[in-house]
Amino acid sequence: MQWETVIGLEVHVQLSTQSKIFSGSRNAFGAEPNTQASLIDLGMPGVLPVLNQDAVHKAIKFGLGINAEIAPRSVFARKNYFYPDLPKGYQISQYELPIVGKGFVDITLEDGTVKRIGVTRAHLEEDAGKSLHEDFHGQSGIDLNRAGTPLLEIVSEPDMRSAEEAVAYLKAIHSIIRYLDISDGNMAEGSMRCDCNVSVRLKGEEKFGTRREVKNVNSFRFVEKAINVEAQWQIDELESGRKIQQCTVLYDSAKNETRAMRSKEEANDYRYFPDPDLLPVEITENMINTMRATLPELPAQKIERFMGELELSEYDARVLAADRAVADYFEQVVKESGAKPKQAANWVSGDLLGALNKNDLSIEQSPVSAAQLAGLIKRIVDNTISGKIAKQVFEELWSNGGTADSIIESKGLKQETDTGAIEAIVDQVIASSPDQVAQYLAADEIKRKKLIGYFVGQIMKLSKGKANPQLVNDILAKKLI
């Protein structure tokens, strides 16, 4: 039987505001427990919420970023349920009238095809606190610092058909929120969290199968694994003649399996109703236009410009535009080095990103700044050093800092461009390699191209890599006749 997996994602993004969505508490990760929980966050008797303007602005920006309708009037509703990390016994969320309506995100699949994924809606809500399960004499500890952190919940259409598509969509959302600077998107710290709705059906079937929701998957890799393992589990169940029960499951990354949650298993009845403490949010055309004017160039536009104006390959353009910080880094390198964009692209996407990945660092944590890298490439462009020596300088910059110029100077890496000095070395190599010279002279054009490598290698070795390769080639060509 041919099965097809159907996936929809609910992505929760913590907005990077200074204060919380309904209170003036600091919105920051990692503080001592409950030191960022104010009267409002604690749900004390008599307190009232007031909506943070910046949370609204960030939601509007996101809406514009995914080509969505922004609701002129949206309403906050209470979602009622009891849980110790939910201080008021209800979460302030949006239900019938979310702030962001239908939009879409285009993703590019491995074979290069572009697929459009629908976004059903995105709404503002408050985050809950955290239950810590370390043992407090058989009890759990509750930290409400996170309670009231502004969240944007982004709900996709069930448009994805594989874990790869889901990851591509999630990466596209990640890229957009980072570009818009509305969240740091840090999945490890929970700034971006993902619930995956997964179902399977026979290929060709129009009706969706019963879905199970995989809660709170916290990395791109786990999203891929969780969806695959969940889809396979469902296929196995169906093939064994069992039915899928709609429920919420957790992904256990250690065992690479999904399992139904024990709590919250009762059919939830959230009793949504408009929050009487908050009035309808009105968003004017004027406010939308103001926000539109602040929008940066988004990934799709950037890729287009990199391919057009900068003549990069599509692959390079995508790699460099995926993250706003990487793209900014790259553009600074191009500007300051005076190099051709392709050359700068090779350094950034190859050497730099390679080293960052190897060391598990983000671009913000890079030991080599864009200015430092530009300083290095500048010296390749003006022939002060060769590309090969440049790699050596890069390693030095990475480990010990400094500038390319100071490293070139102190290590004496400056390229040899004195024709006389290079001629002397060329003569020395020709003189000590009579057999190779004879072989070379007897060979045809095609073979000669291969054989000349030997001479270049020897010359570079003797010059400690500093001889200008172009000059070496020119002189060799003249002498080997």
Complex with another protein: residue 90 or 394, whichever CB lies closer: 90
Residue 359 · residue 368 · CB < 8 Å:
no
Please, what is the Cα angle at 301 between 300 and 307, to 5 degrees? 95
Complex with another protein: residue 150 or 341, whichever CB lies closer: 150
Separation in Å, CA 188 to CA 27, 30, 155, 215, 254: 17, 12, 21, 15, 16
Task: Indicate the helix (H) or strand (E) that contains 85.
Answer: none
Complex with another protein: residue 97 or 326, whichever CB lies closer: 97
Residues of this chain, 88-117, that bind another protein according to CB under 8 A: 88-90
With CA atoms as reference, report the closest residue to 377 among 402, 404, 411: 404
Which range in 75-83, 190-198, 317-325, 441-449 contacts another protein by CB under 8 A?
A: 75-83
The least CB distance from residue 84 to another protein, in Å, is 5
Site string for another protein, 245-284 (x = CB under 8 A): -----x----------xxx-----x-xxxx-xxxxxxx--
Separation in Å, CA 298 to CA 67, 151, 177, 324, 325: 11, 21, 10, 9, 12
Choose which of 69, 109, 116, 140 interacts with another protein (CB under 8 A): 140
Alpha-carbon span 45 to 120, nearest angstrom: 36
Which range in 101-109, 138-146, 337-345, 410-418 contacts another protein by CB under 8 A?
A: 138-146
Residues of this chain, 144-173, that bind another protein according to CB under 8 A: 144
Alpha-carbon span 310 to 317, nearest angstrom: 9
Choose which of 30, 112, 138, 453 interacts with another protein (CB under 8 A): 138
Choose which of 4, 29, 42, 305 interacts with another protein (CB under 8 A): 42
Q: Which residues does residue 4 pair with via DSSP β-bridges, in sequence order?
A: 201
First to last CA, the chain: 70
Task: Indicate the helix (H) or strand (E) that contains 14.
Answer: strand 3-14
Which range in 53-61, 168-176, 373-381, 408-416 contacts another protein by CB under 8 A?
A: 53-61
Residue 288 in contact with another protein, rule: CB under 8 A: no
Residue 420 in contact with another protein, rule: CB under 8 A: no
3-state SS class at 220: helix
With CA atoms as reference, report the closest residue to 327 among 360, 298, 293: 298
DSSP 114: E
Complex with another protein: residue 113 or 263, whichever CB lies closer: 263
Residue 355 in contact with another protein, rule: CB under 8 A: no
Residue 290 in contact with another protein, rule: CB under 8 A: no
The least CB distance from residue 288 to another protein, in Å, is 14
Residues that bind another protein (CB under 8 A): 17-19, 23-26, 32-39, 42-56, 73, 75-76, 78, 80, 82-84, 87-90, 131-133, 136, 138-144, 250, 261-263, 269, 271-274, 276-282
